[in-house]
């Protein structure tokens, strides 16, 4: 017989809490995002947003998007940073970790650029906490059959 443990977090709370912790490593000065890929309740990889390895962080150089007065949600290419969702896929590839069929826990809803990458990587389910105004991302996830759940 199993005893109830009311203080024990649910799996969703557990993995989202880890995504929050990962976001604490982010070097973006506009938005801190953390992502964790999970399969069979096991963490495969994590990622956060920031400049690529060996490139000065925005805290050192200033935010390129602020300098160019680029509003949120547009012209994602005008940024030194790599998104957390991109970094989690890159880290998995770098270390030879298969991610097809995995679940993503992310502090923020992925943008349309990340949506394309996640779909092609075979991510089937995404949990996120904070929204992001990108209807194209939502449409692509829907058409690809990726489950997107705000928690």
**What is the structure's pLDDT at 75?**
86
- Whether 114 and 132 have beta carbons less than 8 Å apart is answered as no
Q: Is residue 104 part of a domain?
A: yes
| N-terminal to C-terminal alpha carbon distance within the chain | 30
Q: Is residue 38 part of a domain?
A: yes
Detail the residues annotated as belonging to a binding site. Answer: 83, 111, 114
Q: pTM of the prediction?
A: 0.92
Chain position carrying tokens 């947003």: 49
Residues of the chain where predicted confidence (pLDDT) is lower than 70: 1-4
Detail the residues annotated as belonging to a binding site for Zn(2+). Answer: 83, 111, 114
Q: The domain containing residue 76 runs over which residues?
A: 16-150
**What is the structure's pLDDT at 72?**
82
**What is the structure's pLDDT at 100?**
98
* Lookup: tokens for 4: 């109830």
Q: Active-site residues: which are they?
A: 85
pLDDT in tens, 80-116: 899 999 999 999 999 999 999 999 999 999 999 999 9
Q: Is residue 10 part of a domain?
A: no
Q: Is residue 140 part of a domain?
A: yes
**What is the structure's pLDDT at 6?**
76
Which of the 8 DSSP states describes residue 82?
B
**What is the structure's pLDDT at 3?**
67
The CATH number linked to 127 is 3.40.140.10
Q: Is residue 1 part of a domain?
A: no
**What is the structure's pLDDT at 81?**
92
What is the number of structural domains in the chain? 1
**What is the structure's pLDDT at 1?**
56
- Rounded CA separation 110/130 (Å): 10
Chain position carrying tokens 């770098």: 94
How would you list the strands of the sheet with 34-39, edge to edge? 42-48, 34-39, 103-108, 125-130, 147-150
**What is the structure's pLDDT at 132?**
87
- Rounded CA separation 106/77 (Å): 21
């Amino acid at each position: 017989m199993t005893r109830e443990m009311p203080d024990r977090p649910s799996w969703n709370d557990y993995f989202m809490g880890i995504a929050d912790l990962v976001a604490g490593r982010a070097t973006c000065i506009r938005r801190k995002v953390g992502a964790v890929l999970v399969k069979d309740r096991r963490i495969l990889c994590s990622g956060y947003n920031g400049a690529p390895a060996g490139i000065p962080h925005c805290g050192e150089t200033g935010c390129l998007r602020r300098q160019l007065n680029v509003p949120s949600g547009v012209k994602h290419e005008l940024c030194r940073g790599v998104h957390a969702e991109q970094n989690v896929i890159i880290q998995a590839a770098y270390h030879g970790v298969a991610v097809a069929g995995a679940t993503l826990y992310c502090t923020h809803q992925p943008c349309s650029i990340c949506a394309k990458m996640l779909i092609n990587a075979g991510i089937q389910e995404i949990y996120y906490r904070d929204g992001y105004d990108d209807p194209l991302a939502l449409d692509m996830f829907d058409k690809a059959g990726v489950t997107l759940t705000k928690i």
